[in-house]
Amino acid sequence: MDGGKVTLGRTAGLYIGAAVLRLAIFTLLPGLPDLLTGRVEISTPVTSFKRLQEGLFLYNHNVSPYDGGVYHQAPLFLPLFSLLPSFATYPIFTYLLYIAVDLLNARALWRIANSGEAGSSALFTSPRREKRWSGFVIAAVFLFNPFTVATCIGRSTSVFTTCAILHAIAKAVSGAPLGAMVALSFASYLSMYPLLLLPPLLLLCYDRQRPERAVKSSLAFASIHVSIVAGVLALLFQMSYLITGSWEFLPSTYGVQLTLSDLTPNVGLWWYFFIEMFDSFRSFFLAVFWLHLSCYVGGLSVRIRRQPLVVLTLLLGIIAIFKPYPSISDTSLFLAMVPLYRHVFPLMRYSFVIAAVIMYATFLGPAFYHLWIYAGSGNANFFYAITLVWGLGQSLLVCDLMFAVLRDEWEVERPEMVGKEIRQI
Amino acid sequence: MTPRKQPPPESPSDIRRRTHVILSFWLIILFLGLPIWWWTTTIYRARLPLQEMLEWADGKACRPVFPLRISIQANSLQEQEAQNLLRLTQHALDDLNDFSGHHLRLQLSPPSSDAKQTHDSGSALTIRLIPGETTTATLDPLEPVLDITYPPNAIPLPTSSSSTLATYVAAQLRSTFAEEQATISYLLSTNAIPSEHRPQGLSPEAAESLSKRTTRSLKYAPTYHLTFSLFTSGPLPSSWDIEAAIDEYMKPVLDVLSPIHNFTIDTQVQLYATPGVQNQVLNKEDLSSFINAAEWPLSPSIGGAPTINFIVFVGNQTIAAASQSPEDASGSESSAAHSWLIPQWGTVYLLSLPLDVTHLSVASLKQPLLTFTSHLLSLTGTPQSGSLPLRLSTLARIRSADLLLRASSTLGSLARLALALPSISIPRSVADGVAKTMAHLRLACETLGGAEGLAHARIAEAEAERAFFEKSMVGQLYFPDEHKIAVYLPLLGPVAVPLVLGLINELKAWSKRRREMAKRGEEKKRE
């Protein structure tokens, strides 16, 4: 399939189909959105739509939205959602906003796919690049992925972060480093962790500069664009300050992510660990967990320097496993990027195991949560065990994808080894 | 079979790249991980004046001395005669006294014409010398005044070295303060006060009776919660004038006790209450199980303060006469058959009423409340001999000594804890608490015996308790170093293995490359 041959009608059909599916779920199953909003797999303390409603209510009544200790999201969401007609009376506008964000994400993915960056970057061209999926298929895989649909129906605010990250990558591959940096700043402003994507994104932007206005010195390029990110972030913080009237939002949004003060269970690995942690070691292990999350950035960027998009994809996977408040929305973003590497799928060794483990955790996770919280016949260990399996499935996928990409690179150096068993030493 | 093919040598760019990857991990560990580890796990230990704290606990820092000033008022005596009598009495007192910590110091108060203004507040007791027929001594029931009458011939001559009146006054004083002295010596003897300061000659019987009294009274607390409960066996009476009755009969004593304790009060009424014992006549053994702890809503403590329960039980039960121990009948005669004191808990008063009484008036509550008041005094540890004002002022002195010793021993425990556990963290608030405690202890020690001393001792005790029971310290009370291995190893061990092995391999490869380079260089030279 070739992206260029996809007719306008098919594109419109895909988008309309995805929109109609979401709209149908919203309108025909009116109980489902609220049910999904309450699920810990979808709504974390830092992305929950319910908490956003609470913050919005306080904000509209001229009370600081962070006063209740419930709302931990960025302040700029508040004016955005206040502009919409009230959710209580016209929920359709909120639904349409979330559907639009999903379609924008799909469009960005489409552009990333069609750029061909996954198969041939500036420094490396895969011999297998011909065997790839078109933007249409990748967008369709994203739009009809049950995780994406569930996130959209659950109205988790992480879709906005996803949108910003995907647009940052799309801008970067199309040679618009400025747009990429601004989009990444927005993503970082909303969720903080996308700041970890800055180094590989800088590399990607550097590799895909338009030749007519390229900055040759890598150091100059990096410093210019880091200062752009810093400037945009400062501007966003200033706007937030003007909106809320105090710097209180910093500890309430980023402070909560850094210190994990809200220990609501989620699909990640942090909450259980910090429930059990001795108080005197809590701050040390918080630092260890954050360092662990961030220490992959340097290593991966150096090792897979020739394919920065791979680094971004792998980092998105690692973040979806190890960040403090992960949800299936982060996994859906990672799973949206993985099909770009259709050409290395034959090199992956554990595709079946990965698929089985992820399906297993997907079905058993809600069941174990139910046993623990509602039936009372299980305990927290049940749910934590299944989140460990979930993390295992994702880390297998990350490792296997990395293996496949490295093997792809290696086969270019050693053409005589193509198709042979190899052993890692 | 062909021998296994060796992989081709790595390209230099690959080697450099691997070095960079390993470096990128180790840079994060060295420049972020280690400082953070140091910063988050160092234990903050505020400096405590350990030596001084231990001195307080050993009683070396303060020697509790109660200088009691006793004024003698002798309006009918000449200045010269009075001075002489005072000197002789002081001599006699000093001869009798064997306990240096508790010292009676006589002074002559200026003759006053106003009979009402007899007692000045600075002194513990005023002796009023009144000429009379015989030598008698009576304690004024309302004021700390001891009236002594003497026959005219008892005035000592200026030249005489002894006088029967002086000896008599000294003996009277001594017997008046005997209980206080015994209590304080008992307190000192049960604490870690070195023996040279300790009074001698506390008889075993006296010690036993004192320890019995201490076990009966409640442990000291700055606040007591008083609960007045009306339990009735039937539907009536259903209301009582308890507030008015408390104001009338108990408030004066509570006011006098207010420098020592705060009191909070609540009341309750419960109808159809079944006591724990159904017998018509209650024997001594029944008294302890009379309280129906399972059904009566007598909460052990409200708001952290210990509760003293006062229960009026309306029913037709009586106490068997034989079960009355003389101590329990300390109230007035009529209450003897109706009430008993439960050590460290409170009092029960049995009230039998005609069946049709629906409301308990202030008057009918008079007797119960007077009993409660006298029991409250013994529950708070008030001494039992002497007039009420004397007993209360004695209580204040005993309490200040008690609080002083308690705060000192708490300081000592804290110092020993800090010495025994070198890895326990000591927050700044604890150091502040210790400093405050010591400042107030010093002030209390200087002003011991007065109202000021009591106030300082109370603050010192509260601060010492707060410092000792600091929340963040209690959690670490038992945290040996071996536990740290269990904390660090499970997570950091697996992470460290690949990192350390990678670093070692890299260093080995690097040194090998250097050796080969050197070899090649030598070969080149030789050529």
Span of A43-47, A188-192, B222-226, B379-383 with lowest mean pLDDT: B379-383
Chain B stretch 14-73, residues whose beta carbon is closer than 8 A to a beta carbon of chain A: 17, 20-21, 24-25, 27-29, 32-33, 36-37, 40-41
A-chain residue closest to B18, CA distance? A303
Chain B: nearest CA to A300, how far in angstroms? 8
| AA letter at B489 | L
Query: pLDDT class for A160, splitting at 50, 70, 90?
Result: very high
Cβ of B36 and A299 within 8 Å?
Answer: no
B501 vs A: CB within 8 A: no
- Residue A338 and residue A398 in contact, taking contact as beta carbons nearer than 8 Å: no
Cis peptide upstream of residue B275 (ω within 30 degrees of 0): no
DSSP structural state of residue B30: I
Q: What is the pLDDT along chain B (527 residues), one digit of tens a residue?
A: 455 667 777 788 888 888 899 999 999 989 998 999 888 877 778 888 888 888 877 777 777 777 777 777 777 777 777 777 777 877 777 777 666 666 777 777 766 555 445 555 566 777 777 777 777 777 777 777 777 777 777 666 666 666 777 777 777 777 777 777 777 777 777 665 544 444 455 566 667 777 777 777 777 788 888 888 888 888 878 788 888 888 888 888 888 888 888 888 888 888 888 877 777 777 777 777 788 777 777 776 666 778 888 888 887 777 776 554 444 444 434 445 678 888 888 888 888 777 777 888 888 888 888 888 888 888 887 777 777 777 877 888 888 888 888 888 888 888 888 888 777 778 888 888 888 888 888 888 887 777 778 888 888 888 888 888 877 776 666 667 777 788 888 888 888 898 999 999 989 988 998 998 899 888 888 87
- Residue A404 and residue A347 in contact, taking contact as beta carbons nearer than 8 Å: yes
B-chain residue closest to A304, CA distance? B17
- Distance CA(B284)–CA(B290), nearest Å, equals 10
- Residue B147 and residue B352 in contact, taking contact as beta carbons nearer than 8 Å: no
Chain B residues near residue A280 by CB distance under 8 angstroms: 41, 425, 475-476, 479
DSSP structural state of residue B336: T
A-chain residue closest to B27, CA distance? A295
Chain B residues near residue A283 by CB distance under 8 angstroms: 40
Chain A residues near residue B491 by CB distance under 8 angstroms: 285, 288
Q: Hey, of B26, B39, B41, which one would you mutate to test binding to chain A, going by the most A CBs within 10 A of its CB?
A: B41
Q: Could you tell me which CATH class the domain B70-180 is placed in? A: alpha beta
- Distance CA(A86)–CA(B99), nearest Å, equals 84
Q: How many other CB atoms sit within 10 Å of the CB of residue A48?
A: 28
- Distance CA(B375)–CA(B367), nearest Å, equals 12
Chain B residues near residue A281 by CB distance under 8 angstroms: 40-41, 487
Q: What pLDDT was estimated at residue B87?
A: 79
Residue B65 in 3-state DSSP?
coil
Of A285, A287, A298, nearest to B24 by CB-CB distance is: A298
Of B28, B33, B475, nearest to A298 by CB-CB distance is: B28
Cβ of B28 and A295 within 8 Å?
Answer: yes
Chain B residues near residue A285 by CB distance under 8 angstroms: 491
Chain A residues near residue B28 by CB distance under 8 angstroms: 291, 294-295, 298
CA angle B276, B279, B283 (to 5 degrees): 90
Span of A85-89, A195-199, A254-258 with lowest mean pLDDT: A85-89
Cβ of A291 and B41 within 8 Å?
Answer: no
Q: What pLDDT was estimated at residue B379?
A: 83
Cβ of B40 and A283 within 8 Å?
Answer: yes
A-chain residue closest to B22, CA distance? A299
Cβ of A285 and B491 within 8 Å?
Answer: yes
Of B24, B32, B475, nearest to A291 by CB-CB distance is: B32
A306 vs B: CB within 8 A: no
Chain B: nearest CA to A18, how far in angstroms? 42
Chain B: nearest CA to A294, how far in angstroms? 9
Q: What pLDDT was estimated at residue B331?
A: 40
Per DSSP, what are the bridge partners of residue A83? none
| pLDDT tens-digit map of A176-185 | 999 999 999 9
Cβ of B17 and A303 within 8 Å?
Answer: yes
- Residue B404 and residue B448 in contact, taking contact as beta carbons nearer than 8 Å: yes
Cβ of B24 and A288 within 8 Å?
Answer: no
| ipTM confidence score | 0.83
Cβ of A298 and B487 within 8 Å?
Answer: no
Q: What pLDDT was estimated at residue A73?
A: 92
Pick the CATH number of B218-379 from 3.40.390, 3.30.420, 1.20.1280, 3.30.70: 3.40.390
| Whether residue A41 has pLDDT greater than 50 | yes
Q: What pLDDT was estimated at residue B98?
A: 64
Question: Among residues B486, B471, B469, B478, which one has the least CA distance to residue B423?
Answer: B478
Q: What pLDDT was estimated at residue A425?
A: 59
Q: What's chain A's average pLDDT?
A: 90
Cβ of A284 and B41 within 8 Å?
Answer: yes
Cβ of B495 and A280 within 8 Å?
Answer: no
- Distance CA(A282)–CA(A137), nearest Å, equals 45
Of A279, A284, A299, nearest to B25 by CB-CB distance is: A299
DSSP for A243-271, written as a single string: HHSSTTHHIIIIIHHHHT------SSSHH
Cβ of B17 and A302 within 8 Å?
Answer: yes
Span of A19-33, A166-180, B37-51 with lowest mean pLDDT: B37-51
B491 vs A: CB within 8 A: yes
Of B25, B40, B479, nearest to A295 by CB-CB distance is: B25
Chain A residues near residue B29 by CB distance under 8 angstroms: 291, 295
- Residue B182 and residue B401 in contact, taking contact as beta carbons nearer than 8 Å: no
Per DSSP, what are the bridge partners of residue B314? B232, B351
A291 vs B: CB within 8 A: yes
Of A292, A294, A303, nearest to B21 by CB-CB distance is: A303
A245 vs B: CB within 8 A: no
Cβ of B24 and A291 within 8 Å?
Answer: no
CA angle B10, B14, B15 (to 5 degrees): 80
Count of pairs with CB atoms under 8 A, one residue in A, one in B: 54
- Residue B48 and residue B414 in contact, taking contact as beta carbons nearer than 8 Å: yes
Chain B residues near residue A288 by CB distance under 8 angstroms: 33, 36, 491-492
Highest mean pLDDT: which range of A121-130, A395-404, B208-217, B466-475? A395-404
Residue of A256 and B200 predicted with greater confidence:
A256
Residue B396 in 3-state DSSP?
helix
Residue of A216 and A347 predicted with greater confidence:
A347
B492 vs A: CB within 8 A: yes
Cβ of B33 and A305 within 8 Å?
Answer: no
What is the rounded radius of gyration, in angstroms, for the C-alpha atoms of chain A?
Answer: 21
Q: How many other CB atoms sit within 10 Å of the CB of residue B401?
A: 26
Q: Hey, of A196, A274, A279, A285, which one would you mutate to test binding to chain B, going by the most B CBs within 10 A of its CB?
A: A285
| Whether residue A205 has pLDDT greater than 50 | yes
| Whether residue A256 has pLDDT greater than 80 | yes
Per DSSP, what are the bridge partners of residue B129? B148
Chain A: nearest CA to B430, how far in angstroms? 17
Highest mean pLDDT: which range of A1-10, A13-22, B86-95, B361-370? A13-22
Alpha-carbon separation of residue B520 from A211, B507, B516, B526 (angstroms)? 45, 20, 6, 10
| pLDDT tens-digit map of A263-272 | 889 898 999 9
